[in-house]
Chains A and B, each alone.
Chain A
Amino acid sequence: MTRAGDLWRFPGTRAAAFAVLAYLYLPIIVLVVLSFNASDSSLARWEGFSTHWYAVAAADGNMVHSIEISLTVACIATMIGTVVATLAALATSRTRFRGQIAVEAFLALPLVVPDIVAAIAILLFFVMVGIGLGVSSLVLAHTVFTIPIAYLPIRARLEGLDPALAEAAADLYASPWQSLRRIILPLIWPGILSGAMLAFIGSLGDVVVSYFISGPGSTTLPVYVFSMVRMGVTPTVNAVSTLLIAASASLLTLSYLLGRRFN
């Protein structure tokens, strides 16, 4: 399509695309660069390279504690959410059944309800049932949101499977369980892994829900940073933010490479 290829090039879209990419990355890059700034105000005056603010962040006991809380909550919620989402994806993919649209809409609900509404609803629920606000309430709430995040890539992977594989297994007298364990799970594990990584990033990044339901002593990192930022800008926040960016970017890259290798 040499001739058509030329026609299909819409003038200006290339430049516009690069401008948008620059726009998307500019704030992130500025933040990362400033986190290595030796200056003690976080104004945009460059005073030399330093990892001083990372040391300051590491020395902040409350911050380290909030990182521990965040990681604990994200790990547990991701594990539960991914297992539950995998089961659900096994039930909804490669088959069509009555009420499927309703079931899938129900599973997508946590992503559709605005997070502030979900947050206060869950808060009221915990207060009424008498579940104290702490790590366990955070885990419960985060699990809800990890389910649809993990579900979508796992389901996409299952839909992409060649149905002949499961049929061949059945022809060769594999029980459904054997076919699941020996054929399907080994084939969809990149999808499960990428779903789990996205769920983990989602849990680690959540501000709004955690803001409402983290009790005293169980502040997650984003909630801690949120309160710091509201107090004013400090270079320590730059350092912690850069760590968060690095965490999500490396998990995403891993999930991208996995997807490329196995597709």
Chain B
Amino acid sequence: MSNVRQRAGLLTPAMAVIGVLLVLPLGLMAFVSTLERGRDGGVIWSRHTLDAYVQFLFERDLMDNLVLNTDYLQIFARSIGLATTTAVLTLVIAFPIALWMAFQPPQRRTFLLFVVTVPFWTNLLVRNYAWILLLRNGGVFDRLAQSTGLTHEPLNVLYSPLATGIGLVYSFLPFMILPIYVSLEKLDRRLIEAAFDLGANRWHALTRIILPLSMPGIVGGFILVFVPCLGAFVTPALLGGGKSLMIGSLIQQQFGQSRNWPFGAALAFVLLALIVFALVLHGLRYRRLAGRLT
């Protein structure tokens, strides 16, 4: 199998499918973002304009002057904030369990890994829907709170940014547990033993040895949570109730009610650029971790 031509032949189908059905469309999307919007949806293929990008930052006032409009920037900022918060929260929740898992006997480790991945592979829609049942007024938590006398009013958690946050943390938690676990499991145990031998207590071993050495996993997990969170569409739509718009819902709107394809394409392109920027920041480290994940 060392033959170069043979290798090229084996790789061609996969690269052709991804190239034609993903990379080419992404290029097309960038192209569409520079087109003029069609009168009743669609685009005019022959007319180029930067209107979509102008619309992202400005609006026209009554005198037809361009005025800075921060509405869309606010939606992006809100999404970035929510994605960051989600990543930090998942990190706090994931680290202890990853640490515990990594120090279990090998046989049990494989089993625990399986137990953690089952929810991860459970349909995203189903997982979010389950939270509707828990959070809605008259739902499980609401009844629990009222019957224990904790509160006498409805919880009113569902269809709020809080519910979106809960759903995002829940959805992406395995993305954080797995890479941290992988880096902790690969960690050279002798380093920790050496720390203990030299009189370190658990806290010092944790903060001076384990935490720094699990940094690649933490960074990888952070990106694996942050990236899909930023483009999340299902969770805000189901749990957020569409009151506070997120990037994903905003993009979807352009292809739904608003019928503004160039603007939708431009928004998606900006989102993609943000993510590419985040990935380039961490370069190959991310790729290495993603490769180890499965």
Contacts and interface: CB of A to CB of B under 8 A. Distances in A.
Nearest to B227: A114
Contacts of B114: 252-253, 256
B117 A233 contact: no
Interface residues of B, number: 94
Interface stretch (B59-67, B133-141, B214-222): B133-141
A115 interface: yes
Nearest to A111: B290
A185 interface: no
A117 B133 CA distance: 29
Nearest to A44: B140
A127 B293 CA distance: 35
Question: Dominant SS at the B interface?
Answer: helix
Contacts of B21: 122, 125, 140-141, 143-144
Interface string A86-117: 01101110110100010111111111111111
A28 B130 contact: yes
Interface in A144-199: 144, 147, 151-153, 156, 176, 198
Nearest to A197: B121
A204 B123 contact: yes
Interface in B185-235: 192-193, 196, 202, 206, 227-228, 230-231, 233-234
Interface of B: 1-2, 4, 6-8, 10-11, 13-15, 17-19, 21-26, 28-29, 32, 42, 93-94, 96-97, 99-101, 103, 110, 114-119, 121-127, 129-134, 136, 138-140, 142-143, 170, 173-174, 177, 192-193, 196, 202, 206, 227-228, 230-231, 233-234, 237-238, 247-248, 251-252, 255, 261, 264-265, 268, 271-272, 275, 279, 284, 287, 290-291, 293-294
Contacts of A25: 119
A87 B11 contact: yes
B100 A91 contact: no
A257 B272 CA distance: 38
B134 A120 contact: no
Given A21-B97, A233-B133, 14 more contacts: A4-B196, A10-B206, A17-B101, A31-B129, A84-B17, A92-B11, A95-B2, A97-B7, A101-B287, A103-B15, A112-B275, A125-B25, A127-B42, A226-B238
Contacts of A13: 96-97, 99-100
Contacts of A44: 133, 138-140, 142-143
A127 B279 CA distance: 30
Nearest to A80: B17
Contact of A114 (B97, B115, B271): B271
Contacts of B272: 113-114, 117
Contact of A143 (B17, B170, B251, B275): B17
A118 B23 CA distance: 9
25 contacts: A7-B202, A21-B116, A24-B119, A24-B173, A25-B119, A27-B133, A27-B170, A85-B14, A90-B10, A97-B4, A104-B287, A116-B247, A116-B248, A116-B251, A122-B25, A125-B25, A128-B28, A207-B125, A207-B234, A208-B233, A212-B255, A225-B126, A233-B132, A241-B123, A248-B122
Contacts of B177: 20
A207 B291 CA distance: 24
A201 B143 contact: no
Given A121-B28, A124-B29, A106 B143 contact: no
Interface in A242-257: 244-245, 248-249, 252-253, 256
B32 A17 contact: no
Contacts of B238: 226, 229-230
A229 B129 contact: yes
B25 A205 contact: no
Nearest to B2: A95
A95 B1 contact: yes
A241 B130 contact: yes
Contacts of A233: 132-133, 136
